[in-house]
Structure 1
Amino acid sequence: MSDKIQLLPDNIANQIAAGEVIQRPASAVKELLENAVDAGATEIKLIVADAGKSLIQVIDNGSGMSETDARMSFERHATSKINNIDDLFRIRTMGFRGEALASIAAVAQVELKTRKTEDETGTLIEIENSVVKNQEMIAFPKGTSIAMKNVFFNVPARRNFLKSNPVEMRHIVDEFIRVAMAFPEIFFSLTANGQEIFHLEKGTLKQRIVHLLGASYNAKLVTVQEKTDYLTIYGFAGKPDTAKKTRGDQYFFVNNRFIRSAYLNHAVMSAYQAMIPADSFPMYVLFIDLDPAQIDINVHPTKQEIKFEDEKIIYAFVQAAVKHALAQFSIMPTLNFDLDPGIQKLDAVEKPFTEEKKTNAEASSLYNTFTQKNQAHFIDSKSELKHWKDFYPEPKQQSGFKSLLAAHTEPVSDKLEYEQTVTANRSLQGSGDQKLQLLEDVPMLQLHNTYIVASTNTGYILIHQQSAHERILYERYIIAAKGKPIPIQRSLFPLTVPLAAADAALLQELLPDLAVLGYEIALFGKDTFVIHGTPADVETGNEKTAIEQMLEQFKHFNSEVKFSRREKLIRSLSWQHAVKPGRSLSQQEMKTLGEELFATAQPNITPSGNPTYIAFKKDYLERMFGK
């Protein structure tokens, strides 16, 4: 029988998590692209106009549909993927609920054209507000074309909640990247308003990653490949120097389905421990293939969150696979045993491993759990391993001078009391009885190339150099945004900056606001920009990095409060251009920083609410020393 699509019985449909409501054009893009993949297409084209508000069209050369299937596909819970409830736990396709086209037809005008290979003619169906307006036979090549026009034309209130075209376009690009990355063997293209943004030929996974995320990753990817009888992990992780200050290019796929998992992300982060700064995020694109019976994808409307039967196993395998990959490529620090002759004298090295010791080792339960098939993750709770505390004897009681010293170096109060005391001594202009002022003739001291100790008329303050500079820049940019543009330092030799397609779209959106803040940037070709000038206080030679990191900061700007685009840009630039910990400052630089900080309207906190300095009053210091 040529017809494949059938309505699910109520008892099965009721056990399926509700499908994703079409919240924005990107939601429809995701559903349509996944349907094209499931149809076995080798070429998929996405065409959008007006950021998807006017048109979203997906054209594929897949299996197509019969006339009956074409009509049935718009019914709720009409699917070719599931016949009984057990099929829910054997899903290897992208879609399975049978709700995508029904949801799309409910909020837009839809035109479907399709033809199966064996059919001589195709089918055209036009639907508006879930009502079929026209159905006829047409000439059409093999495959399917679905055009979704005028999204939310019948729900004006929801259309009013859509963001600006650049914002909606970024969401569409995100969904496109997630699907295209998972299937490098399929040709994908994305055309927006008549301009082709992505043209992705069939190729390897690495080629697809480089085309999607940027050529800068080409020589900075480490292959991750581990295969076990339980699961297979493969993909790429970025070398430590690709780590960014914001959570950017991180992708997890389970059975080719993009997922979000803070738990598995932690596994990757732990593999990079001590290799990248604690506040940095590595790049990775990792695929996990395992038996569908071991996961449940029927738990979330967007299907981007899934449940594992045993997530601890997955965590351990992901962490080990990434660590192994980094070690193989000589990225992980290694021990050179020749450097320490003392190691050669250890019993484990000097004494031979006798047959008796071998027999005892093989008889242990720990050995069995790691050598029997499918047992690596089952650790015997009755293992003869000692508890970790048993390796550390109780510390002996100190006596004499050391004991006396230890007693006097204990905190003067508990943590809460100390924090309350410090909080009471933090001050913008003192506690009201005396205005806080920096002493001009007293030199400042820099600690750990991060903190500045400055004497005041009431004691001293400890300034965090990055936080203080961030407050200064923020207020400078606010003034510029209100009509006093920042002076531009023109480049003698303009710098060309190529960007990934998604970043190029974002930067083009931000150009007017950046011009007010001292950046003179122009579009140069498809995804390339030319920097003609930067703010006068931006370090020369650092323009390209500053732009790239500003975009990362803006894209992943996190806040519980919703800010305007300009406010987000100002906060991102303030953070990006602020002097970072680790930079040594001269006396003049420290003095200028202090003076400019106290000239701001709110010198005691950063734009995000963190303190810029802590004030310690003289009487508080005397109390600490019992004076």
Structure 2
Amino acid sequence: MNRIHQLDADTANKIAAGEVVERPANVIKELVENSIDAKASKIDVLVTEGGMESMTIIDDGIGMSHEDALMCFSRHATSKIKDDHDLFNITTLGFRGEAIPSIASIAKFSLETNDGHEGSQVIYEFGNRTQVGYLDCPQGTKITVEKIFQNVPARLKYMKSVNAEFAAIYTYLERLALAHSEIAFSLSHNGREIFRTNGSGQLLEVIAVIYGMNVAKNMIPVDFGNEEFSISGYVSNREITRASKNHIITLVNHRYVKNKKSIDAINDVYRQYLSDKRFPIAVINIEVDPYLVDVNVHPAKLEVRFSKEQELHDIITQGINAVLKPQEPAETIHQEPSQPFVFQTEKVQEEPFVFKEPIQEDVIELNDEPVYDQMTLDLREDEKVADEHADYQKEEKTSLKDLPQNPIKEKIYAKGQIRGSYIIGENERGMYLVDQHAALTRIHYERYKNAYQKLDRHMQSLLVPVTLEYTPSEFMRLEEHKNELKAVGIELEVMGPHTYCVRELPMWMDMSDPTSFIEQMIEQILSNQQLDVIELMEEAIKSLANQASIKDNTYLSQQAMQAILDDLMRCDNPYVDIKSHPTFVFYSDYELEKLFKKVN
């Protein structure tokens, strides 16, 4: 008996639906893209219960004839391409002919369309055609999808909450609106209009609708390219940042895609201007000959491949650099020539290094306490941080210097210092060259970690409340997860449309940049739908350790150097710093003699 057989059409469509349709947002994506390809100037999306109850897409496009209305339910039936040669010259958003039959196989699907000559209606229920006829309707197309996944229980149980599913729809419609500012989009949920653009063709107006007027006012237009690539759009200035790359939006011939090379090119330029873990907002469209880009590499058509990807990367880097450079403050530009970095070289030439004590004002004395205690190990008692960032509640706390200390693993005797950055030490085993900054970050890291093993539930009121503004779709998702943030001490107070206010923070948080730290927590919620407090605390402790450590080119007294070496050797892991870089290098007596060729 033959084992291999042809699958029936319904089973094949359900398999295809597994690739094309994972959630209601995928249905909206496929059908709205069809409306765009149909040259619609107005697209309305109506959603009930996050799309799990019903979704309706209405457009004023060219519509379909009665024959085409029937044909579109057949697999791989499309008006976008005719043969394999067209795959290398795709100018439409859709082209595979899989979306409509796949959706119709896992939902109730109603199609009403008019091509300007006659109106037609076709209804399918879970893969079976139940009604065909003619209908009096305006030109364009109206599609209603109901009861999605009702015949696929395994897929249905993986659906998220109503708000989460609608937020995914909202997010993708925002991307389509940015890609097609010439189309008037509207989105309604449970009978209430949530989102609308006017279709004026002004990208900046769409950015204002999504991100708010404050962001729109701080966006910089870009327009550059060469004979093969033309890049246009907007990028944010240095003051407007976000906690993830999700707001770097790349479009290729007005198709929303996630092109890693282009995103990285934009991000790399901003790295010289923004702090760590801060990213710009950018919306750029890359116009390119369809023959130079392959859009048929991803089931959802969210990735593309360029034939000249490195060239595109270089063009974006140069173009964004040219836009951002003129923003440099004039005083900075004038200061650079007058303060060339040559003072160290001149000093070395005039005063050769002879292990003499540096001038008194550059030396940090101990005054019977370790150097890092003088620099206020306990961040909660740091007056500078308190003055700049918060008004701490008066709660009894344990100072880091009151914690029990481990025994010294190995005694190293401080002998001198090089360039204010490296401590020379020795013992009976040999010589040590210690990176003083790396050593101190390790010392502070372990002390902070021991001190804050448990979350401090005491709260501190902020002198200046932190305000956080999000896109409407992000705001919806955060509303669903506010309790998770509240459980760790972050209470989001609604302050206005899509805006939150935070008035107090838990004691364990990194107060050097509270806004950035809160945004990192919220980004975890937006990206992963969960909050990893342990990971965030680890990042906070590393940041505190780095801030408390003295920088390079800082000269220390003999007593301060000895204190660093002693406390380093009390650490559980004295060998690497918080970035896994070595804290010291060791030369045994034999290795030293070998360096000078005294032994073989």
Q: Give TM-score scaled by structure 1 length.
A: 0.65
Task: Please name the residue that 2:310 is paired with.
Answer: 312
Does the CA contact (< 8 Å) of 2:54 and 2:146 recur in 1?
yes
The separation in 2 between residues aligned to 1:201 and 1:72, in whole angstroms, is 33
Task: Please name the residue that 1:381 is paired with.
Answer: none
The separation in 2 between residues aligned to 1:241 and 1:446, in whole angstroms, is 35
1:62 partner letter: G
Does the C-alpha gap of structure 1 residues 190 and 585 become closer, same or farther in structure 2, counting only changes over 3 Å?
A: farther
What is the aligned counterpart of 2:173 among 159, 173, 176? 176
Task: Please name the residue that 1:24 is paired with.
Answer: 23
Task: Please name the residue that 2:46 is paired with.
Answer: 47
Does the CA contact (< 8 Å) of 2:211 and 2:471 recur in 1?
yes
State the Cα distance separating 1:81 from its structure 2 match: 0.9
**1:195 is aligned to 2:192:** yes
The separation in 2 between residues aligned to 1:299 and 1:612, in whole angstroms, is 37
The separation in 1 between residues aligned to 2:330 and 2:145, in whole angstroms, is 50
The separation in 1 between residues aligned to 2:523 and 2:590, in whole angstroms, is 44
Does the C-alpha gap of structure 1 residues 244 and 467 become closer, same or farther in structure 2, counting only changes over 3 Å?
A: farther
Which residues in structure 2 correspond to 1:470-549 (within 5 Å)? Answer: 476-477=454-455, 486-487=457-458, 498-523=469-494, 526-529=497-500, 531=502, 533-535=504-506, 547-549=518-520
Task: Please name the residue that 1:259 is paired with.
Answer: 257
**1:457 is aligned to 2:407:** yes
Task: Please name the residue that 1:443 is paired with.
Answer: 370
Task: Please name the residue that 2:105 is paired with.
Answer: 106
The separation in 2 between residues aligned to 1:323 and 1:536, in whole angstroms, is 40
Task: Please name the residue that 1:355 is paired with.
Answer: none
Does the C-alpha gap of structure 1 residues 449 and 75 become closer, same or farther in structure 2, counting only changes over 3 Å?
A: farther
State the Cα distance separating 1:48 from its structure 2 match: 2.1
Does the CA contact (< 8 Å) of 1:19 and 1:97 recur in 2?
no
Give the secondary-structure state (helix, strand or coil) at the position aligned to 2:246.
Answer: coil
Task: Please name the residue that 1:415 is paired with.
Answer: none
**1:138 is aligned to 2:135:** yes
Does the CA contact (< 8 Å) of 2:509 and 2:540 recur in 1?
no
Greater shift in the superposed pair: 525-534 or 253-262: 525-534
Task: Please name the residue that 1:38 is paired with.
Answer: 37
State the Cα distance separating 1:164 from its structure 2 match: 3.4
Task: Please name the residue that 2:145 is paired with.
Answer: 148
- 1:113-133 Cα deviation digits (max 9, x unpaired): 2222333xx322221121111
Give the secondary-structure state (helix, strand or coil) at the position aligned to 1:240.
Answer: coil
What is the aligned counterpart of 1:230 among 228, 232, 245? 228
Task: Please name the residue that 2:269 is paired with.
Answer: 271
State the Cα distance separating 1:514 from its structure 2 match: 2.5
Does the C-alpha gap of structure 1 residues 625 and 313 become closer, same or farther in structure 2, counting only changes over 3 Å?
A: closer
- 1:303-333 Cα deviation digits (max 9, x unpaired): 1222222222212211121112223455799
Task: Please name the residue that 1:207 is paired with.
Answer: 205
Does the CA contact (< 8 Å) of 1:451 and 1:462 recur in 2?
no
Give the secondary-structure state (helix, strand or coil) at the position aligned to 1:505.
Answer: helix
2:532 partner letter: K
* Runs of 5+ unmatched residues, structure 1: 1-16, 343-401, 406-440, 481-485, 558-564, 587-602
Give the secondary-structure state (helix, strand or coil) at the position aligned to 2:217.
Answer: coil
Task: Please name the residue that 1:383 is paired with.
Answer: none
1:112 partner letter: L
Which residues in structure 2 correspond to 1:392-431 (within 5 Å)? Answer: none
1:161 partner letter: Y
Does the CA contact (< 8 Å) of 1:89 and 1:293 recur in 2?
yes
The separation in 1 between residues aligned to 2:444 and 2:283, in whole angstroms, is 32
Does the C-alpha gap of structure 1 residues 539 and 448 become closer, same or farther in structure 2, counting only changes over 3 Å?
A: closer
State the Cα distance separating 1:568 from its structure 2 match: 3.3
The separation in 2 between residues aligned to 1:156 and 1:18, in whole angstroms, is 14
State the Cα distance separating 1:288 from its structure 2 match: 0.7
| Percentage of pairs with the same residue | 28
Does the C-alpha gap of structure 1 residues 545 and 615 become closer, same or farther in structure 2, counting only changes over 3 Å?
A: closer
Give the secondary-structure state (helix, strand or coil) at the position aligned to 2:251.
Answer: strand
Give the secondary-structure state (helix, strand or coil) at the position aligned to 1:58.
Answer: strand
The separation in 2 between residues aligned to 1:341 and 1:489, in whole angstroms, is 42
The separation in 1 between residues aligned to 2:376 and 2:124, in whole angstroms, is 66
Task: Please name the residue that 1:287 is paired with.
Answer: 285
1:307 partner letter: R
The separation in 1 between residues aligned to 2:68 and 2:589, in whole angstroms, is 83
- 1:595-620 Cα deviation digits (max 9, x unpaired): xxxxxxxx989xxxx96999999xx9
1:157 partner letter: A
- 1:115-152 Cα deviation digits (max 9, x unpaired): 22333xx3222211211112233332222121211211
Q: Give TM-score scaled by structure 2 length.
A: 0.68
- 1:24-53 Cα deviation digits (max 9, x unpaired): 222112111111111111111222222222
State the Cα distance separating 1:584 from its structure 2 match: 4.6
2:228 partner letter: Y
Greater shift in the superposed pair: 322-331 or 216-225: 322-331
The separation in 1 between residues aligned to 2:283 and 2:121, in whole angstroms, is 39
2:98 partner letter: E
The separation in 1 between residues aligned to 2:252 and 2:326, in whole angstroms, is 24
Does the C-alpha gap of structure 1 residues 327 and 463 become closer, same or farther in structure 2, counting only changes over 3 Å?
A: closer
Does the CA contact (< 8 Å) of 2:510 and 2:544 recur in 1?
no
- RMSD of aligned alpha carbons: 4.7
Greater shift in the superposed pair: 46-55 or 446-455: 446-455
Task: Please name the residue that 2:521 is paired with.
Answer: 550
Give the secondary-structure state (helix, strand or coil) at the position aligned to 1:242.
Answer: coil
- 1:464-519 Cα deviation digits (max 9, x unpaired): 58966995798545xx9xxxxx4555789987654320221122011222232233
Does the CA contact (< 8 Å) of 2:510 and 2:543 recur in 1?
no
The separation in 2 between residues aligned to 1:66 and 1:207, in whole angstroms, is 36
1:191 partner letter: S
What is the aligned counterpart of 1:157 among 146, 154, 157? 154
State the Cα distance separating 1:272 from its structure 2 match: 3.1
The separation in 2 between residues aligned to 1:58 and 1:469, in whole angstroms, is 59
Does the C-alpha gap of structure 1 residues 494 and 251 become closer, same or farther in structure 2, counting only changes over 3 Å?
A: closer
Count, aligned residues: 483
The separation in 1 between residues aligned to 2:282 and 2:191, in whole angstroms, is 32
Greater shift in the superposed pair: 259-268 or 317-326: 259-268
Does the C-alpha gap of structure 1 residues 537 and 182 become closer, same or farther in structure 2, counting only changes over 3 Å?
A: same
The separation in 1 between residues aligned to 2:54 and 2:299, in whole angstroms, is 24
Does the CA contact (< 8 Å) of 1:240 and 1:275 recur in 2?
yes
Give the secondary-structure state (helix, strand or coil) at the position aligned to 1:27.
Answer: helix
The separation in 1 between residues aligned to 2:50 and 2:506, in whole angstroms, is 32
Give the secondary-structure state (helix, strand or coil) at the position aligned to 1:95.
Answer: coil
1:457 partner letter: P
2:489 partner letter: G
State the Cα distance separating 1:263 from its structure 2 match: 2.2
Does the CA contact (< 8 Å) of 1:508 and 1:523 recur in 2?
no
Does the CA contact (< 8 Å) of 2:524 and 2:531 recur in 1?
no
